[in-house]
Amino acid sequence: MPWTVLSAQINMPDPSIIHGKALPAPELPAGTVTVRVVREAIGNNVTEQEVRLTIGGAPRTAKTDAQGRAEFSKLPAGGEGRAETTVSGEQLVSDPFTVPPTGGLRVILVAGLKEAAARAAKEAAAAAAAPPVRGTVVFGPNSRVLMEFRDDALQVFYVLEILNTARARVDIGGPLILDLPTGAGGAGILEGSSPAATVSGDRVTVTGPFAAGATTVEVGFQLRYDQPDMTLTQKWPAAVQQLNVAVEKIGDVSVTSPQLATVGEVRAENGTPFLLGNGPALAPGATLTVQLANLPVHSPVPRYVALGMAALIMGLGAWFACARRASAGEIRRQLAQRRDTLLAELAAVEKRQARKGGAPSASDEARRQRLVTELEQIYGQLDEVGGGPEGGGKDVAA
């Protein structure tokens, strides 16, 4: 799923992990460092905040803008620097960094981490100790149905945000059961979903009780077709707060549905067109019906020829099978997961060094360099697949 506005949102890194870190930003001009200041959570920007940046012993100051970013440009390559600011009496200081010869750096400083962690731990403990209450859940407004075409098959992704708006865990009287459309094949729970979600055949089961807030479940399956028209029907076991349906637009493909109020064309970051439909809320038990017309249908003759050739060149056929293109959305998801793992490892190395004091050991320094190098590669790959951070840094948010 190679687009940002339609695809499942990448989970943002834990603010405590990226606090104070200088992350490579190859999209920035050379010699540029941005410092973003937030309070407790990414997105809670601190504006008009004075930030001090010291490079090679020379201090500079700048104020944060509406996105909480202070920008420093024309810094000397190779200069050793550090960023700092004070928010409500709390001094925030970045880790030391070196200005790269190409591209720039993004630094994030997070205020109130200790208070937020203590509050979250207290709330989580209280919620876990309290017995669940009877109630209901809904599919939140970030839930969406995404469709792509793959070799005479429709690859369908359900990105579901199961919302519990109560302050306590909710027991809905049993598991939440979602029966996928007739003909759904190869269904599976995607990485990043709640461990409470399982799939058997064409049935998705999410066991309760449901914690307060959102439970994320992502499901992928295929619908094969051999005609230019097809209809997808999905009955929802809980209320849907807003309908969001996106279909890859190939040729003259069209989308109609009595439940969709509007259908328009949008483009992914790589330029791929999609038909995006939106509709009002649905009641529990309501059915979404989507009619697809002018689907790309290929003649079976080339397929038979290809099968005959594959019998003669099994090695080449096996290679092509292994090299089949993975979903861009899955690539982004894996890159984001690896990014967060590397950031956590980097933080652990630096915390260990801080406890030891003195110069870093050879093994720690070598490990740190390997982590930074791999992070640079991952951020470059995220840029290539459209997974970069929003606002000149997309989901990195620094």
pTM of this structure = 0.51
% of the chain exceeding 70 in pLDDT: 84
Residue type, 244: N
The pLDDT score that the predictor gives to residue 95 is 96
User: Do residue 86 and residue 159 come from a single domain?
Assistant: no
Tell me the average pLDDT of the chain: 84
pLDDT band at 397; cut points 50, 70, 90: very low
The pLDDT score that the predictor gives to residue 202 is 95
- Supply the range of the domain harboring residue 291: 138-298
Summarize pLDDT for 329-363 with one digit per residue, the tens.
677 777 788 888 888 888 877 777 777 766 677 77
Closest CA to 372 of 346, 347, 341, 391: 346
Q: Is residue 334 part of a domain?
A: no
Q: How close are the terminal C-alpha atoms of the chain, in Å?
A: 24
Summarize pLDDT for 182-226 with one digit per residue, the tens.
999 999 999 999 999 999 999 999 999 999 899 999 999 999 998
The total number of structural domains that make up the chain: 2
User: Do residue 125 and residue 144 come from a single domain?
Assistant: no
User: Do residue 145 and residue 292 come from a single domain?
Assistant: yes
User: Do residue 179 and residue 237 come from a single domain?
Assistant: yes
Which domain-ending residue is among 278, 298, 318? 298
Closest CA to 37 of 10, 12, 4, 71: 71
pLDDT band at 376; cut points 50, 70, 90: confident
Summarize pLDDT for 271-316 with one digit per residue, the tens.
889 999 999 999 999 999 999 999 988 655 445 445 555 554 554 4
User: Do residue 160 and residue 263 come from a single domain?
Assistant: yes
Number of residues that make up the chain: 398
The pLDDT score that the predictor gives to residue 372 is 81
Using DSSP bridges, classify how beta strands 58-63 and 138-139 pair: parallel, antiparallel or unpaired.
unpaired
Query: Could you tell me which residue, 152 or 118, shows the higher pLDDT?
Result: 118
The pLDDT score that the predictor gives to residue 349 is 75
Q: Is residue 309 part of a domain?
A: no
User: Do residue 145 and residue 286 come from a single domain?
Assistant: yes
User: Do residue 169 and residue 272 come from a single domain?
Assistant: yes
Q: Is 120 exposed, middle or buried (0-12, 13-18, 19+ CB in 10 A)?
A: exposed
